[in-house]
Amino acid sequence: MQLFRTESSDKSEKLLPSTGALALAITKVYLVLTSLCALLYLMGGMSLLDAVCHALSTVSTGGFSNYDASFAHFHSLYLDCVAIVFMLAGALPFTVYVALTSRKLSARTLPGLFDEQIRWFLVFCAFASVIMAVWVAVTTDVGPFQALRLATFNVVSVITTTGFVSTDYMQWGVAAAMMFFALYFTGGCTGSTAGSVKVFRHQVLFQAIRRILFRMVNPHGVMSLKLDQTPVSEETLASVMAFMFLYAATIFVIGLGITMTGLDFVTSISSAATAVANVGPALGDIAGPVGNYSSFPAVAKVLMSLGMLLGRLELFTVLVLLTPRFWRL
């Protein structure tokens, strides 16, 4: 049963070296991307320490900043743009970069690298950024260009599970907060540094929904599930959907635990979600984009730590430990 999807596509696979060499190549890609990001940050006026810290947590989509205000500290359009590009770069499958440097690469094989997953991901980032920018421009007194800049930065930061913040987007109203809540669950591509649900699971689910509607109209029709021309087995589909349900259930249980420490509904559920999705900032007044978790009760912090572990290990790896059968082997 294929629980996790580890290859980016059939086409890029042919351009990839063996496992050991691939690990080395991916490490090189990671080092090159991080160095390039740090260099561009330096050129934008960051100190060496700031540039290195932020580059490390941009490409790794980690989101750590050595300033309380996160990226809002810098007030630089150039730095925002560099961060957006490298957050996106960190959320793409690293195998693609390796394949791009392959000697076997030709003009014919190049387009094959940008598989459905990458296209969905980039189109969705653009789409969500524009929707958010329009909402901000229409409902607040932020100008259209500034709205696009702030929306793109913060939307990309949440989708890629980086968690940098360039403005207090809680000021954009409840609808914006709810959109950010939904964006927690997108995630990056498989084989990237990003966490959360990840794009291919959404693709599988979308195909399943399409098939049901197809079969309602054509009761005897046959429609196979495919991703990048590769068939998706029914068991993969079942495991993807069970994963999503468990994901929601995990967030609910952790959120419920957090409410019991006395925190409010929105803070609790968004903190649970942001922990499991490995994003960073939550919603609300306490742990929102300009807040942090320092005032949280210890129990809430422990629950969130558990959530971060469960989310990063993709649930089943941890949950299997709870089955009696596992311990009998």
b/e 128-139 (16+ beta carbons within 10 angstroms → b): bbeebbebbbee
Residue 288 binds a copy of itself, judged by CB under 8 A: no
State the minimum distance, in angstroms, from the CB of residue 161 to a copy of itself: 19
Binders of a copy of itself among residues 212 to 251 (CB under 8 A) are 212-219, 234-235, 237-239, 241-242, 244-246, 248
> In 3D, which of 173, 172, 152 has the Cα closest to residue 164?
152
Residue 151 binds a copy of itself, judged by CB under 8 A: no
Residue 268 binds a copy of itself, judged by CB under 8 A: yes
d(CA 299, CA 278): 19
Interface region with a copy of itself, contact rule CB under 8 A, candidates 37-45, 105-113, 168-176, 301-309? 168-176
Interface region with a copy of itself, contact rule CB under 8 A, candidates 49-57, 70-78, 110-118, 204-212? 204-212
Q: Which two tokens stand for residue 49?
A: 């320490």
Amino acid at site 85: V
Q: Which residues pair with 230 in a beta bridge?
A: 227
Interface region with a copy of itself, contact rule CB under 8 A, candidates 78-86, 101-109, 210-218, 289-297? 210-218
Binding mask 42-81 for a copy of itself (x = CB under 8 A): ----------------------------------------
Residue 141 binds a copy of itself, judged by CB under 8 A: no
**Which residues of this protein are in contact with a copy of itself, per CB under 8 A?**
1, 3, 173-175, 177-179, 182, 205, 208-209, 211-219, 234-235, 237-239, 241-242, 244-246, 248, 252, 255-256, 259-260, 263-266, 268-269, 283, 316, 319-320, 323, 325-326, 329
